Structures are given as structure tokens and as C-alpha cells.
């Protein structure tokens, strides 16, 4: 059974078409990276997949059932979402915040298992020594890791779980960018399917099983990294020429932008 | 700290303040006399240690007044806590969505205008006409503010805030107009009403406000988890399985019931709804599973205490309670702002 089946999704608002006939099928326990230039429709697609927006036409199936047939409460038990903006209006302690991930699973009081899961999620993101800190006093990177712990706790141990990440590496330094993607990768080994918007094409190639490349709401390519990330596709989607080099440590060639001609100084 | 310890401590504090308020005043009642009155009423305790006047004061004046203080204080503080959660803004308070300004406008209308409809209402409801009008005004303005904030069937929080500000300004202008038209006696009535008092307490007001205060206090704790999640953002709360649309509606309706009824029986009492939830958050935790019930208890403590001071400090006269809550509340509020600022620089 497929984790996610997207058929002919189109989304129009105020006369503009933000997504145009997007389709793909994502098998279970795989990681999909959505890439594309600014305004390609990545976030819009993510919001539609998370039931935040209704598509104008098309259908989405989650684990063999239509997305629209789930209530938000049902979804929350096996699907969690890490958004891009994670400011707290009222400050909470780190462990209280991660416990919010368990809210869909208990009615009034958390069980021992919920506490255990919170503890594990904090340990896996390397934030266990911060558990009694005030969230608003943490640095941006630390906050992002705490939020990741929260969304991991939400779907911990669930079969057919789905994890959506909206630019999870934003604002993190190199080490934590790697850590977060490794954690996402690890989740796919534990019965979880991951969908992530990523900016860094190299990261997308190394960590994702599939890549969806969008441009102005249209699919440029969908498939495995070597099918999608070609010089031609990248030029079409990003208007940047690239060079590719092989390295023995990497599954796929690394890409980097070809040098743009330097502006001349005529003085 | 365990929540049960916090609740026990606050309950003991409430008991202490209530006993103090029951005993002190123009007619003093000592603790043995108080126990004797209660014993006598319940039907055991043979010894009569009290004078009949003390019994009358206790039963007809003090007890309903303390109970009213508890109910109003709890309702205001709980509503404040959930409105701050809903607006995702620690400086929000129930007045923001028009509850107080609407109550004020209709109270002023009732006091000043002597048109047939209002006179008929006064004749029919007598003493309770003012409470009824204030409650109605509170509900009506909040409903208008809520309707204005609807976008494709859902309430938008930013628009709710802006609509609240606009409607508050408009009701303020009309209230001003009525004050301009008022004669001296009416002016005095409006002014005193706007400063709040529990002086109208009797068993009838208490029993009238009971459902309006108890329903929000009893139901809102069940939405504590949802309000916590809302602190992360509306989309995030939805991803955690919360029906945000329904949550907004419930919070607004229950806060309006609680605050509307409180304003109706006691006039405008500021700062309780704003400051009490903050004290709980600062002292213990922001978890609304604690903040909502603890605010209910602390709100009751604060109002019973403020009322005790209000009616004893200048006795035999009485100070409007709103003056006291503002005098106590403002320094605490400034302290909170300063502390928050320090935290940010950390």
C-alpha cells in the first residue's frame, strides 16, 4: 500500500494557479524531497498535503484512504508536521512543549508511556539536557531541534506514520542540518514515511529516496535523485547552470553552480 | 511543583481570605461566633455564642458577598487566561473583544435615556434592569466583533483584534455622548458603575450568576490542552489534531458568558482578568491545565481580598473595588513587563 498518492492536484486562488496538475506516488518508508525555486509551489503543496488547504481539483490518498475523509484528530495520531515558523506566544518549558506532541494520544493526563516517548524524542534530537529550559530562551537551532522532538514524539511508534518537514534545515548550522536529515532518514527505518521541502539539492540527493522538482506550480520531474537532478532539469527549474562531480563517499554526484560571468568594472 | 500542592495551597489561601472577609467589617464576628452561627444553622451546636444581628449580617450580607466575590473573581480570571491563550498574546484581556465596552454602553443607555422602551424594562425588571442590560450589551458587542472577524466561515484572530479595537472605540464614543447628556445624578451612577462594586450582593444576585460563572470555570479546563497547542500557532495546533475553529468559538462564548455576567452584577472590575493568569504563569507554569483552574482560585482570592479592603478601609463608606484592583494590579503588571524584558535580553 502506498503512503501517499497524489493525483492531478491543482490549486487556484484569486485567478492565479499556484499548483498545476501535480501527481506522484510515494511508497511507504521512503523519504521524498520537494525542491524548486522560490514561488515554485512547494509550501502550497505541503499545506494541501497537510489538509491546511483544499485543492481546487484532484485527489490525495493517505495510506489508501482519501485525505478529506480523515478528521484532523485522526490525522494527528499518525501524521505530524514541522512548520517553518515556530515562535511561541506564551513560553513553555522544553519538556512541556515536546509533550504537546503526545496530546493526540491522551485525553487529560499523559501516561507513563507518553513521558517515556518525550524523553526518547529529546534524547534522539540531543536536547535531553535542555528539558527544563524555557523554550523562548533557546537559540534558533535549539528551538528547531526541540520542535523536531515534538513532531517525532507525536508519531512515535506508529505504524504507517507520516512526517512532513517544511525546510527543516533552515537557519541551522551544518552539523545540525546533517543531524536533522539523519534523524528523518532514521525515521524511515522505523515505519515512517517522510516528505520534506529542502533547499539544498545536494542534501536532497544524499538523503531522499525520491525527489519532486517543481517550477511555477508544475512538475518538472519526479523520481529517484539521479533521474531528477540532471543539469537540464536544474537549468529549467532554477535557471542556473550546474557542474556535477562524483565523490566516492556520496551516492549521487554533487552539484554546484557553474561560475556566472563576473560583472566587469569599467573604471 | 506538583499541581495538587498548588491547588491545595490556593484553596487554603481562599479559605483564609474568605474567613477574614466573613469576620471583618462594621459588625465584627469572631471565629468562635462564626462557627457557632454555622453550627446553629446546620442544626448542631447547642450553645448560642452570637447576637442575632451578627447572624443576620453573616447570612444576608457577608456570605453572599464573599460568594459573589469568588464567582466574579474566578470568572474574570479564567476568561482572561483563555482569551490570552486564544489571542496568542499575553497582554490580551476579555475587554479586547468588546465585552466590557458593550456592557458599559448599555448600562449608560439604561441610566441616561428615559425613553418608553427603557422605562418599561426598568419597571419590569426593577433592580435587575441594569444587570440585564449590561449582560445583553456585552453579548451583543462581542457577537458583532465576532461576526466582523469571520472570513469564509472562520474567525480570523487578527481581524478579531482589529474589530474589537474598532467596536470598543465606537462604544466608547457613544458612552461619552451619553455621559455628556447625563444629569449629575446619572453621571454619578455611571461613574460608580464603571468602577465596580460587589455592594449589590445578595442571595438573588449570587444564584443568578452561578450558572454563568460555573459553566466557563467547569468547561474551559477541558480545552486546556488545545489552548496550549494554540500557543504554537493555528496551523500547528491543527496539525496536532485540534479543531481550531470550534475552539475559538467555544472560548469566545464561554468568556463572554463569564465576563458578561460578572460585569452585569458588579460593574467594571479591571486587571483581574489580565494579571491573575500572569501571576500563575510566572510563579508556576504556562501549562493551561494548571493555569485555568489555578487562575480560578487565585481570581477568587484576589477579588474577595480586594472587596474586604474596599469595604473596610474607608468604612463606613465603601471604595469602588475597580479602583483597588487597578491599584494593586498595575504595579504587578509593570513588574511582569520588566521581568519579561529582562528574560528577552538573557
Q: What is the pLDDT of residues B170-225, one digit of tens each?
A: 999 999 999 999 999 889 888 888 888 888 888 988 988 898 899 999 999 999 99
Q: Show residues of chain B in contact with A79, CB under 8 Å.
A: 239
Q: Do A103 and B228 touch (CB under 8 A)?
A: yes
Peptide bond preceding B316 in cis form (omega within 30 of 0):
yes
pLDDT confidence bin for A256, thresholds 50/70/90: confident
pLDDT at residue number B343: 64
Residue A266's pLDDT band (cuts 50, 70, 90) = low
On chain B, the residues whose CB falls within 8 A of the CB of A51 are: 238
> Which band of pLDDT confidence, cut at 50, 70 and 90, is reported for residue B68?
very high
Range of the domain at A24: 2-257
DSSP three-state, residue B151: strand
* Cβ neighbours around B338 below 10 Å, total: 10
SS3 A223: strand
Q: Do A86 and B241 touch (CB under 8 A)?
A: no
Mean pLDDT of chain B: 88
Mean pLDDT, chain A, rounded, equals: 91
**pLDDT surpassing 90 at residue A130:** yes
Interface test with B, best of A72, A86, A90 (most B CBs within 10 A): A90
Q: How far is CA A32 from the centre of its chain?
A: 8
Residue range B224-253, pLDDT digits in tens: 999 999 999 999 999 999 999 999 999 999
Q: In which residue are the cell numbers 453572599 written?
A: B64
Mean pLDDT value across residues B131-136: 87
**What is the residue-wise DSSP string for chain A?**
-EEEEEEEEEEEETTEEEEEEEEEEEETT-EEEEEESTTSSHHHHHHHHTTSS--SEEEEEETTEEGGGS-HHHHHHHEEEE-S----SS--BHHHHHHHTTGGG-SSS--HHHHHHHHHHHHHTT-GGGTTSBGGGS-HHHHHHHHHHHHHHHTTT-TTEEEEEESTTTT--HHHHHHHHHHHHHHHTTTEEEEEE-S-HHHHHHH-SEEEEEETTEEEEEESHHHH--HHHHHHHHS--EEEE--TT-SS-EEEEPPPPPPPP--
What is the interface pTM, i.e. ipTM, of the complex?
0.89
The reported pLDDT for the residue numbered B328 is: 84
Of B84, B286, B343, the CB nearest to A92: B286
How many C-beta neighbours within 10 Å does residue B339 have? 11
Split into its structural domains, chain A has a count of 1
Residues 6+ apart with CB under 8 A from A71: none
3-state secondary structure string, B198-254? CCCCCHHHHHHHHHHHHHHHHHHHHHHHHHHHHCCCHHHHHHCCCCHHHHHHHHHHH
Instruction: Give A9's pLDDT tier (boundaries 50, 70, 90).
Output: very high
Mutate to test the interface with A, among B151, B247, B279, B286 (most CBs of A within 10 A): B286
- Whether the CA torsion B329, B333, B336, B338 is positive or negative: it is negative
Contact of B71 with B209, CB cutoff 8 Å: yes
- Does the model's pTM come out above 0.95? no
CB-based contact A134 B285, cutoff 8 Å: no
By residue range, what is the domain housing residue B154?
Answer: 3-345
Hey, how many other C-beta atoms are within 10 angstroms of the C-beta on A145? 25
Q: How many CA atoms lie within 13 A of A150 on its CB side?
A: 32
The closest CB to that of B239, out of A76, A85, A134, belongs to A76
Partners of residue A132 in chain B, C-beta under 8 Å: none
pLDDT at residue number A246: 87
Residue A89 and residue B88: Cβ atoms within 8 Å?
yes
For residue A8, tell me if it sits in a domain: yes
Strand-pair category, A192-197 with A161-166: parallel
Higher pLDDT, A222 or B114: A222
Residues of A in contact with B292 (CB under 8 A): none
First-to-last alpha carbon distance for chain B, in angstroms, is: 24
Q: Which residues of A184-194 are buried (b: 16+ CB within 10 A; e: fewer)?
A: beebbeeebbb
Q: Where are the beta strands (DSSP E) in chain A?
A: 2-13, 16-27, 31-36, 57-62, 65-66, 79-82, 161-166, 192-197, 210-215, 218-223, 242-245, 254-257
List Cα–Cα distances, B122 to A244, B117, B134, in angstroms.
Answer: 86, 9, 13
A16 has a pLDDT exceeding 50: yes
Find where cell 515536546 sits: A98
Is there a contact between A177 and A146 (Cβ–Cβ < 8 Å)?
no
Indicate if the pLDDT at residue B346 is higher than 50: no
Q: How many domains does chain B have?
A: 1
Segment 151-190 of chain A within 8 Å of chain B by CB: 154
Q: Which pLDDT band holds residue A267 (cuts at 50, 70, 90)?
A: low
pLDDT(B336) > 80: no
What's the whole-number mean pLDDT along residues B28-48?
80
- For residues A82-104, average pLDDT: 90
**Residue A177 counted as domain residue:** yes
Is B241 close to A103, i.e. CB distance below 8 A? yes
CATH number for B220: 1.10.3470.10
Greatest alpha-carbon span in chain B: 69
Nearest CB partner across the interface for B229, out of A83, A87, A100:
A100
Question: What is the 3-state composition of chain A as percent helix, strand, coil, each rounded to the nearest 5?
Answer: 35, 30, 35
Answer whether A92 sits within 8 Å of B346, measured CB to CB: no
By Cβ distance, the residue of B84, B235, B240 closest to A154 is B240
pLDDT, tens digit, 9 for 90 and up, residues A131-172: 999 998 898 888 999 999 999 999 998 888 999 999 998 878
> Which A residues 59-98 touch B at CB under 8 Å?
72-77, 79-81, 83, 85-93, 96-97
Q: Residue B61 carries which DSSP code?
A: I
Amino acid at each position: 500500500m502506498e503512503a501517499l498518492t497524489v493525483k492531478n492536484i491543482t490549486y487556484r486562488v484569486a485567478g492565479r494557479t499556484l499548483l498545476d496538475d501535480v501527481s506522484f506516488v510515494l511508497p511507504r518508508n521512503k523519504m521524498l524531497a520537494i525542491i524548486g525555486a522560490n514561488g515554485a509551489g512547494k509550501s502550497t503543496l505541503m499545506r494541501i498535503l497537510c489538509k491546511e488547504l483544499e485543492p481546487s481539483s484532484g485527489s490525495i490518498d493517505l495510506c489508501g484512504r482519501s485525505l478529506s475523509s480523515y478528521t484532523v484528530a485522526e490525522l494527528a495520531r499518525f501524521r505530524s508536521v514541522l512548520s517553518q515558523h515556530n515562535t511561541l506566544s506564551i513560553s513553555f518549558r522544553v519538556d512541556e512543549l515536546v509533550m504537546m506532541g503526545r496530546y493526540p494520544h491522551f485525553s487529560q493526563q499523559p501516561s507513563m508511556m507518553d513521558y517515556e516517548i518525550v524523553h526518547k524524542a529529546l534524547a534522539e534530537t540531543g536536547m535531553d539536557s535542555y528539558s527544563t529550559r524555557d523554550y523562548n530562551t533557546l537559540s534558533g537551532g535549539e528551538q528547531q531541534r526541540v520542535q523536531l522532538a515534538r513532531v517525532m514524539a507525536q508519531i512515535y511508534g506508529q505504524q504507517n506514520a507520516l512526517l512532513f518537514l517544511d525546510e527543516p534545515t533552515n537557519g541551522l548550522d551544518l552539523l545540525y542540518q546533517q543531524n536533522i536529515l539523519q534523524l528523518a532518514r532514521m525515521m524511515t527505518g522505523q515505519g515512517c514515511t517522510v516528505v520534506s521541502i529542502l533547499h539544498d539539492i545536494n542534501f536532497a540527493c544524499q538523503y531522499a529516496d525520491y525527489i519532486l522538482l517543481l517550477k511555477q506550480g508544475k512538475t518538472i520531474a519526479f523520481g529517484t535523485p539521479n533521474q531528477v537532478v540532471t543539469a537540464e532539469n536544474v537549468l529549467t527549474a532554477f535557471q542556473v547552470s550546474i557542474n556535477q562531480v562524483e565523490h566516492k563517499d556520496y551516492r549521487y554526484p554533487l552539484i554546484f553552480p557553474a561560475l556566472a560571468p563576473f560583472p566587469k568594472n569599467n573604471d | 511543583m506538583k499541581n495538587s500542592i498548588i491547588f491545595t495551597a490556593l484553596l487554603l489561601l481562599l479559605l483564609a481570605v474568605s474567613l477574614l472577609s466573613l469576620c471583618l467589617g462594621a459588625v465584627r464576628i469572631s471565629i468562635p461566633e462564626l462557627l457557632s452561627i454555622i453550627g446553629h444553622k446546620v442544626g448542631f451546636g447547642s450553645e448560642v455564642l452570637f447576637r442575632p444581628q451578627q447572624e443576620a449580617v453573616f447570612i444576608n450580607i457577608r456570605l453572599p458577598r464573599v460568594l459573589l466575590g469568588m464567582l466574579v473573581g474566578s470568572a474574570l480570571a479564567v476568561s482572561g487566561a483563555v482569551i490570552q491563550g486564544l489571542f496568542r498574546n499575553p497582554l490580551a484581556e476579555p475587554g479586547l473583544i468588546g465585552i466590557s465596552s458593550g456592557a458599559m454602553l448599555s448600562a449608560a443607555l439604561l441610566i441616561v435615556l428615559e425613553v418608553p422602551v427603557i422605562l418599561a424594562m426598568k419597571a419590569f425588571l426593577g433592580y435587575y434592569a441594569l444587570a440585564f442590560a449590561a449582560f445583553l450589551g456585552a453579548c451583543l458587542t462581542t457577537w458583532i466583533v465576532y461576526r466582523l472577524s469571520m472570513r469564509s466561515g472562520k474567525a480570523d484572530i487578527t481581524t478579531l483584534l482589529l474589530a474589537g479595537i474598532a467596536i470598543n472605540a465606537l462604544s466608547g464614543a457613544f458612552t461619552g455622548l451619553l455621559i455628556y447628556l447625563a444629569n449629575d445624578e446619572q453621571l454619578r451612577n455611571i461613574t460608580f458603575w464603571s468602577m465596580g462594586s460587589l455592594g449589590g450582593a445578595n442571595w438573588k444576585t449570587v444564584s443568578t450568576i452561578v450558572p454563568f460563572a460555573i459553566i466557563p470555570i467547569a468547561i474551559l479546563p477541558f480545552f486546556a490542552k488545545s489552548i496550549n497547542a494554540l500557543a504554537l500557532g493555528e496551523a500547528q495546533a491543527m496539525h496536532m489534531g485540534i479543531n481550531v475553529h470550534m475552539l475559538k468559538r467555544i472560548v469566545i462564548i464561554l468568556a463572554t458568558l463569564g465576563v458578561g455576567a460578572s460585569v452585569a452584577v458588579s460593574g467594571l472590575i479591571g486587571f483581574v482578568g489580565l494579571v491573575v493568569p500572569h501571576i500563575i504563569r510566572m510563579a508556576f507554569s504556562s501549562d493551561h491545565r494548571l493555569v485555568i483552574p489555578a487562575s480560578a482560585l487565585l481570581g477568587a482570592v484576589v477579588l474577595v481580598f480586594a472587596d474586604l479592603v474596599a469595604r473596610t478601609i474607608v468604612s463606613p463608606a465603601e471604595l469602588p473595588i475597580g479602583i483597588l484592583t487597578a491599584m494593586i494590579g498595575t504595579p504587578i503588571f509593570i513588574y511582569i513587563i520588566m521581568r519579561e524584558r529582562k528574560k528577552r535580553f538573557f
